Chain A
């Protein structure tokens, strides 16, 4: 999978706007009451960052580290372990297609190809020129009886076939 297509903003050249202010800070405060340690709020805190910014930059990781009393290196170690946290900007719509065996035998690879064509993303992991779409292959989405499941942002779409892809993509235009 190519990741070279992602432009990374130059660090330090722009003013940083913290994520954890106002409502998001309140949400984090509520999350912290659920656990006996601050560290346990790390995964939820990273989700809040991704919801707010679309991806998690090194500067965001440093902020999370500061808020939770961790080191930036530790936070990065966790971010890089979990595949759902974006470490670079992605398209407006992020598409995850299951291609593990049960979906594979039901035509998942054709669905991937159709999605790469219909969205204009062309290459797995790359973003379409209009900035709208990023398509990736993922391992088992846990809906094998509804092959092929496709996750478009937070919408879990079941039983997608290559033929249904153009209509699916149109819905998000």
Chain B
């Protein structure tokens, strides 16, 4: 299951066009597919012109926040007084998300080319590609691709290095990632200063997600208008997006569709729906950090930045987690809370204590020891964990809890009232 699968007719394969082709991983194979032409062209252009094209394309950050990429690049100082850096965020660790892994495994040169173009646009001479420590296979593929492309001299004066993480979800937060590169604990920094003013090593820095950068060479080659034209819906969400679908679907995997694609079609047509005899109960559309949607919301949801917000969640990283009617929502929400408790960097009290308390209360409910007041307590905690910390990890823990209690309250109440058999030991 999963990749490499034959693209579904409803997919729009742009980034994933060469997934599954081993030959595309080599420099020679990539050049044969028209690779590195965009970089060669970009290196002859004024950096400002490259930024303008990316701005016009409407490309937005694919890591989760959806910030306009060209605009982000334009925040870098125009006049270069200090070294500039580009960081590539390949620390993909958001539960439900596994698209960057596929890009690195199958089309490493798309990322390298996009990164070099971005470096040129922001006048950076050094690029650090931060790959999570557990991604042993993508690391090996990237290392080989980088060595081949460097030997072929395609990057000009730009130097690219891989930097291996060591097991910390929080290092996907941009400033934590920069601290990690500097050889520090991965604690997020207070902003401002923003990275474009003082990023890695205190120098102007831009940080982009793997999928964002992989789209850049094609935008330069085919034009901003082409990319914009791929959207099915809102003019604010353009291009294609890789959606990682996991959980209770028959064909989990990465699917590339245009922005504005119906979530319902993604789940039922492309992924083959739920296992036989089961029905959809809930869906987390953008990685575990966004609110949970119920069945009705899921089936009416359009996959673009605005469409998902309209249903009360967020597009995030495009990690779609599907739960069918056999799912114990209380248990899975506890499991997500435990994830955040484990991954909290412990700098901020609200997060360090809040994620741990949330987990403990949920475990108490699951062990049959819950009290009626626990649900209000969880919501009160969640309120204190939202918008009050250096980064959004604690907000991310609160999101599934709050939406879960709101939409699946009866399941919580059944445990508390003793109508449901405890599944954990107190």
A37 pairs with B247, CB closer than 8 A: no
Among listed B116-124, B336-344, B351-359, B382-390, interface-contacting one: B336-344
A83 pairs with B164, CB closer than 8 A: no
- Proximity string of chain B (335-376) to chain A, C-beta cutoff 8 Å, 1 when within and 0 when not: 110010011010000000000000000000000000000000
A144 pairs with B332, CB closer than 8 A: no
Of residues 131 through 181 on chain B, the ones whose CB sits less than 8 Å from some CB of chain A are 132-137, 159, 161, 163-169, 180-181
In the complex, A46→B97 CA distance in Å? 28
In the complex, A43→B288 CA distance in Å? 28
B184 CB-CB contact with A under 8 Å: yes
Point out which of B159, B181, B182, B343 has the most chain A C-beta atoms below 10 A from its C-beta. B182
Q: How many residues of A contact B (CB 8 A)?
A: 45
Also in contact, A139 and B98, with CB within 8 A (given A39-B182, A105-B327, A144-B321): no
B134 pairs with A142, CB closer than 8 A: yes
A102 CB-CB contact with B under 8 Å: yes
- Proximity string of chain A (108-145) to chain B, C-beta cutoff 8 Å, 1 when within and 0 when not: 00000000000000000000000000000011111111
Of residues 297 through 327 on chain B, the ones whose CB sits less than 8 Å from some CB of chain A are 319, 321, 323, 327
A159 CB-CB contact with B under 8 Å: yes
B167 pairs with A104, CB closer than 8 A: no
- Proximity string of chain B (99-137) to chain A, C-beta cutoff 8 Å, 1 when within and 0 when not: 011000000000000000000000000000000111111
B186 pairs with A81, CB closer than 8 A: yes
Q: Which residues of A contact B184 (CB under 8 A)?
A: 39, 78
Also in contact, A145 and B183, with CB within 8 A (given A47-B166, A140-B339): no
Also in contact, A144 and B319, with CB within 8 A (given A82-B166, A84-B167, A139-B343): yes
Also in contact, A144 and B182, with CB within 8 A (given A96-B134, A104-B335, A159-B1): no
A141 pairs with B2, CB closer than 8 A: no
Of residues 175 through 229 on chain B, the ones whose CB sits less than 8 Å from some CB of chain A are 180-186, 201
Point out which of B95, B163, B164 has the most chain A C-beta atoms below 10 A from its C-beta. B95
A102 pairs with B95, CB closer than 8 A: yes
A155 CB-CB contact with B under 8 Å: yes
- Proximity string of chain A (20-40) to chain B, C-beta cutoff 8 Å, 1 when within and 0 when not: 000000000000001111011
B161 pairs with A101, CB closer than 8 A: no
In the complex, A25→B335 CA distance in Å? 43
Also in contact, A144 and B183, with CB within 8 A (given A84-B133, A96-B134): no
In the complex, A138→B294 CA distance in Å? 28
B96 pairs with A102, CB closer than 8 A: yes
B83 CB-CB contact with A under 8 Å: yes
B252 CB-CB contact with A under 8 Å: yes
Q: How far is the CB of A140 from chain B (nearest CB, A)?
A: 4
A146 pairs with B134, CB closer than 8 A: no
Known A44-B163, A84-B167; 9 more pairs at CB < 8 Å: A39-B182, A77-B185, A82-B133, A85-B166, A100-B95, A139-B93, A140-B95, A145-B244, A146-B1
> Which residues does A use to contact B, with CB under 8 Å?
34-37, 39-44, 46-47, 68, 70, 77-78, 81-85, 96, 99-102, 104-106, 138-147, 151, 154-156, 158-159
> Which residues does B use to contact A, with CB under 8 Å?
1-2, 83, 92-98, 100-101, 132-137, 159, 161, 163-169, 180-186, 201, 244-248, 252-254, 288, 319, 321, 323, 327, 332, 335-336, 339, 342-343, 345
